[in-house]
Structure 1
Amino acid sequence: MRRTKAYRLIFVGVASVLLGGCSGSSKANMEEAAEQPAVVDYTCISNPESDKQIYVILKNYHGAYWEKVIDGITEAAKKLDEAVYLGGIDNETDISGQIDLMNQAMEQGADGILLAPADSNSLADSCQKVREKDIPVVLIDSSINSSEFDACYMTDNIDAGEMAAKEMLELLYDAGNSPTDPLEVGIQLSSDSSQAMVNRVSGFLNFWAGNAPEQWEIVQDIRVNGGDTKKAQSDASALLRENADIKGFFGCNNTSTVGIVNTLFEEERTDVVLVGFDLADETKQMLQNPEYHAVTVLQKQDQMGYLGMLSLNSLIKGEKSEQKYFDTGVIMVDSDYLMENAVS
């Protein structure tokens, strides 16, 4: 019971112990990144002559994950009558940039906004201002700590985190680790202010606390990389240097996973298992390499973008839904899945 409570404390409120666990150098890097604007200005991707306008505001443009999100948005845009403007930020720490884009959308006459919020707290006020103007807001990828939105399409992140912890334990056993030997698992995520990330780690920790052997621990220095793959790789390497008993990594999002994969390959750490998120090329290579033990939680991010757009279109037309949260689901991907589905 004492151990369960200790792990739960890591994510009381908005990740208070996580914030305390970040290293000083990590915080400095995050603050430096936040000072560098990274706004991607709006581009019209369909129906520029339409008198109805949808504004899409993403929180990242890097990597395979967000490419799939954009694919879903683009596919939906082909079926809609509204003009669709795509913009966002290229650095998940540029919260002010995302708020500015929300304000621009209102000023330019948006009839609806599709938002992937970079910060679950800071974007709440912007969403409220938008809805006060009777402009519907649909969230994708992550939610906000407020009810000021009309619908949200995302992964059930607590459930996904629990699934990830279950897979981690199985991989650690499969790799030959003894439940009586000291062992640690490192965790990385892109943002400690995203409710999706907080819930994902919370689900992982809750399952771990109730099911892991007493000798197996979580490294308290949970690293936050701001969606930067190079920083994720550097952090993974640092965690290995500083924690000799690490035998597993949990990468809570695509960039974290890719950074960890790159480190494990570079240092040839076949003794360290990985549970990641999403399916970048680097992650596929590890899954296909029989020397490594790895699985990844594949989200359906294209469906987040696609269904979010269709929902926003319905809201603009005056249709309402009592349901606000829609779980887009996940798939657990390992080497067998890749072979069975001919994924190369």
Structure 2
Amino acid sequence: MKKFMYTRILIVCSLLFLTACASTENGEGSSDGNETIYFLTKVLGNQYWSVVEEGANAAAKELGVDLVVTGLANEAEVEKQVQQLQDAVSAGASGIVVGPTDSTAMANPVSEAFQSGIPIVIVDTMINTDDYSVALMTDNVEAGREAAETMLELLKNRGISESEEMKVGVQIGASGSQTIIDRLSGFNEYWDLHAPDTWQVLNEDIKVNDGDITKAVGFTQDMLTAYPTLKAVFGPNNGSTVGFVTGLMEANRTDITLVGFDFSSEIEDMIRTEAYDVATILQKQYLMGYEGVKQAVELARGIEPDQKVVDTGTMVITKDNIDDPEIADIINP
């Protein structure tokens, strides 16, 4: 009897062992909902990135995974983001979602993390390496073209003469961001093809505010003083746009056309104030955060994405469409 029972135990143990091996070889058994996803945002508390974070949190809750969020005080803290990435790898992250603050400086660290076997999802800003799993972002060159086209329409609607000499001021959050580089490229490409020769973009005097709103407001004030023929300003990221909005409204400069990016309470106030000439390019950042975490979880569970780079799309917000239901669905997902 004892021998019979011993034999039965051996058979059961063998079956359990074989089942476990088969499960491992097939990539099954990893979708137990215990994954930990790290989300490396850019600037903590920034309105744009707060919405990205909301999307990330929603996906984590829906999928039943843990989400660890880290971020920066400003976009100049590149070394800090490198360290945060390395910490996530050391902690054994199931997947990492990152909005690179510098596309070049973050390239090697991201590549090393990817080569270690951890799924890497890039959001908002492209990285200068192919070593990542999937990227979710705006087509930033096209968005830059869209911004230039919108500005030209606004200026012409204001009645600015094509023979009049005028300047367009620009400030950016970070010089190393591929997102900003691409938006400026698209903007200048469209401008050079369609704007009068007398309408000059101040590309030789682009200000870098490091995502610091106080700096951005100061740069706005400097431009208003330095360039008497300034007629328009372009902010290719959220912080720069908010800086322009604040500076122009404080100075009551209703004679300056603004085209910016993203949406915040400050930008909304300016759009809704009749005297100001303004438009903003609305991105779908909630979708970036939500899909970023979702893709990271699926990758951790062995599910490969359909495509490596996903364009999340944009819309132009003006006084004419700010209350449209389609816009409202993006602003308040």
* TM-score above 0.5, yes or no: yes
Instruction: Specify which of 56, 60, 64 is matched with residue 73 of structure 1.
Output: 56
Post-superposition offset of 1:98 = 0.5
Instruction: Specify which of 225, 242, 255 is matched with residue 209 of structure 2.
Output: 225
Residue 278 of structure 1 pairs with residue 248 of structure 2: no
Measure the CA separation in 1 of the matches of 2:169 and 2:34: 50
Measure the CA separation in 2 of the matches of 1:259 and 1:310: 33
Residue 297 of structure 1 pairs with residue 281 of structure 2: yes
Instruction: Specify which of 214, 217, 229 is matched with residue 245 of structure 1.
Output: 229
Instruction: Specify which of 126, 132, 135 is matched with residue 143 of structure 1.
Output: 126
Post-superposition offset of 1:210 = 0.4
Q: 1:215 to 1:316 in 2, by over 3 A?
A: same
Contact 1:229 1:255 in 2 (8 A): yes
Measure the CA separation in 2 of the matches of 1:319 and 1:333: 36
Runs of 4+ aligned structure 1 residues displaced above 2 Å come to 49-52, 339-344
- List aligned pairs for 1:1-344, cutoff 5 A: 51-219=34-202, 220-321=204-305, 323-341=307-325
Contact 2:51 2:286 in 1 (8 A): yes
Contact 2:35 2:297 in 1 (8 A): no
Measure the CA separation in 1 of the matches of 2:231 and 2:298: 48
Q: Secondary structure at the match of 1:78?
A: helix
User: Any idea what the Cα deviations from partners look like across 1:147-197, whole Å, max 9, x if unmatched?
Assistant: 011101111100000000001101111112100010110111101101001
Measure the CA separation in 1 of the matches of 2:97 and 2:221: 36
Measure the CA separation in 1 of the matches of 2:94 and 2:315: 34
Measure the CA separation in 2 of the matches of 1:52 and 1:179: 58
**Match of 1:8?**
none
Post-superposition offset of 1:51 = 4.4
Post-superposition offset of 1:140 = 0.5
Post-superposition offset of 1:228 = 0.8
Measure the CA separation in 2 of the matches of 1:166 and 1:258: 21
Question: Which range moved further: 244-253 or 75-84?
Answer: 75-84
TM-score (norm 2): 0.86
Question: Which range moved further: 318-327 or 220-229?
Answer: 318-327
Post-superposition offset of 1:50 = 6.3
Contact 2:33 2:63 in 1 (8 A): no
For the pair shown, the structure with the greater C-alpha radius of gyration is 2
Measure the CA separation in 2 of the matches of 1:327 and 1:210: 25
Structure 1: runs of 5+ lacking an equivalent? 1-48
User: Any idea what the Cα deviations from partners look like across 1:17-68, whole Å, max 9, x if unmatched?
Assistant: xxxxxxxxxxxxxxxxxxxxxxxxxxxxxxxx96422111111113321111
AA aligned opposite 1:234: G
Q: Secondary structure at the match of 1:91?
A: coil
Measure the CA separation in 1 of the matches of 2:65 and 2:275: 50
Measure the CA separation in 2 of the matches of 1:51 and 1:299: 31
Contact 1:63 1:280 in 2 (8 A): no
